[in-house]
Amino acid sequence: MNAKVQIQFPEQSIPLYRTPQMVDAYSLAFSTNTQIQVLISCISKETVRIKDLERKNCPVPHSFTVLESLISIAEDLATNYCNTFDVEHEKYKNGLNSSDNQYDAGDLLEPYGLAYEVSTWLSTLIYQMKDELITVKKSSTTLCDAVFAGLENLINIADYLSDSHRNTFKIEFEKYEAEWEATKNA
């Protein structure tokens, strides 16, 4: 009598991730935030250049206070979160050789959720910079629009990239959020 015994192992219902996925999440957040940080620094330098040019050509120069304040807030925010993402990236990267670390979708929600939130804030600030630049250009009686072209281009690039990064993080966040909700309900 030959009886076949089939042993079935229960399928794992909760997908688990390893350290490389956490490293990748924080690496992506760090690198995209760094890109925006560099652009904001360039925007700041170009704003100072234009402000100085207007001061030389106008007895009563236009106030750049609001634009400079927005830039300062964006610089501080980008720097702060670059540091946060870098610390977390290094923490997980240093644990890369530990093969027993397992993470679930809930763990990946944190870096992608934070990156999505930060990129949304930066996107909003950059959009406000764009609006303020329009006000500055309209108020300037001594400088032609061509003087503002470089600054305008930098802000447009930062706006595009921040929106693109925000959309990327939103997709990743929603993916892991759905997976996390599914595992909680299983």
Q: Report pLDDT digits (tens) over 79-127.
A: 999 999 999 999 988 877 666 688 899 999 999 999 999 999 999 999 9
Burial (CB < 10 A; 0-12, 13-18, 19+), residue 92, is buried
Burial classification of residue 71, based on how many CB atoms lie within 10 Å of its CB (0-12 exposed, 13-18 middle, 19 or more buried): buried
The dihedral sign for the CA sequence 122, 124, 125, 131? positive
Q: What is the pTM of this model?
A: 0.86
pLDDT of residue 59: 76
What's the confidence (pLDDT) of residue 9?
A: 42
| Burial of 64: CB neighbours in 10 Å, binned 0-12, 13-18, 19+ | buried
| Per-residue pLDDT at 49 exceeds 60 | yes
| Extents of the domains making up the chain | 19-97+124-185
What's the CA gap between 112 and 93, in Å, rounded?
17
* pLDDT given at position 12: 52
* Cα(85)–Cα(28) distance, integer angstroms: 9
Q: At 149, phi and psi to the nearest 5?
A: -60, -45
Q: Which residue has the tokens 């999505």?
A: 116
Instruction: For 125-178, write each residue's pLDDT tens digit.
Output: 999 999 999 999 988 888 889 999 999 999 999 999 999 999 999 999 999 999
Spatial neighbors of 26 by CB under 8 A, at least 6 apart, are 85, 88, 89, 92, 111
**Owner of token pair 């997908």:** 15
Indicate whether 11 pLDDT > 60.
no
Q: Across the strands, what pairs with 17?
A: 103
> In the numeric block, which tokens belong to residue 142?
């001594």
Q: What is the pLDDT of residue 148?
A: 95
Q: Which of 12-16, 70-74, 109-113, 144-148 has the lowest mean pLDDT?
A: 12-16
